[in-house]
Amino acid sequence: MDTIFTPLQQAQPLRDIRDIPPIPWWPPAPGWWLILGGLVLIGYAIWRWRVPLSLRVPIPGITLGTWRWDAAAALRDLRRRIRAGQDPKATAGELSELLRRIAMARLGRPACAGLTGRDWLDWLSAHDPNGFSWSERGTPLLVAPYAPPGAFREDLMALITAAEGWVSAREPKQRAWRLWSTRPASAGGDGNV
């Protein structure tokens, strides 16, 4: 008797479907490298321009709550109120008070808290980080309470811009070697680093 072969009997045995090999985690795809590079550039830009950014863009955790942030916001508010037509007498008083607070934040209370009148303007000129001549151009701070209404509006705008320079200027950094070199030998140790 002849056996009848079917096509399934003649074929080779069936095999399972092969799995796709798992995708390795390293090296990342080119898109991940681009995202990482972009994050590094954004981080560098924020670090590089942190003081100018802190005056204009609120970045939580970096500038919020610092004296620079508060002073810059107060100066912007003064500028807005002068443009809106507020009496320069009140603005001059607020600007003078704000300048004193900024100066004390930068250089400490003993440096400037007791100064008034021309002494105050001379001190501002001597310590201004941008070289603004407060002794010549700061007289509206002294005479605005006694001036007629509307006087000194443009002068106060220039003074607000100069005060913004106080806020945005960086403090000079002291070098560690200068601290060691100026320390007397009797102050604890032989003076060697």
- Would the pLDDT of 6 be above 80? no
Where residue 174 falls among pLDDT bands split at 50, 70, 90? very low
Q: What is the pLDDT of residues 62-97, one digit of tens each?
A: 455 578 888 888 999 999 998 888 888 888 889 988
pLDDT number for residue 189:
44
Q: What is the pLDDT of residues 20-64, one digit of tens each?
A: 888 888 888 899 999 999 999 999 988 887 666 555 555 444 455
- Give me 136's structure tokens: 């010549």
As a whole number of angstroms, the distance between CA 90 and CA 96 comes to: 10
Give, for 169, the enclosing helix (H) or strand (E): none
As a whole number of angstroms, the distance between CA 189 and CA 185 comes to: 6
DSSP 7-72: HHHHSPPP-PPPPPPPPPSSSPPHHHHHHHHHHHHHHHHHHHTHHHHHHHS--TTTTTTSHHHHHH
CB atoms inside a 10 Å sphere around CB 91: 22
Please tell me which residue, 172 or 14, carries the higher pLDDT value.
14
Where residue 182 falls among pLDDT bands split at 50, 70, 90? very low
What lies within 8 Å, CB to CB, of 127 at 6+ separation is 103, 107, 111, 112
As a whole number of angstroms, the distance between CA 169 and CA 181 comes to: 27
pLDDT number for residue 11:
62
Q: What is the pTM of this model?
A: 0.54
- Would the pLDDT of 108 be above 90? no
pLDDT number for residue 62:
44
Where residue 9 falls among pLDDT bands split at 50, 70, 90? low
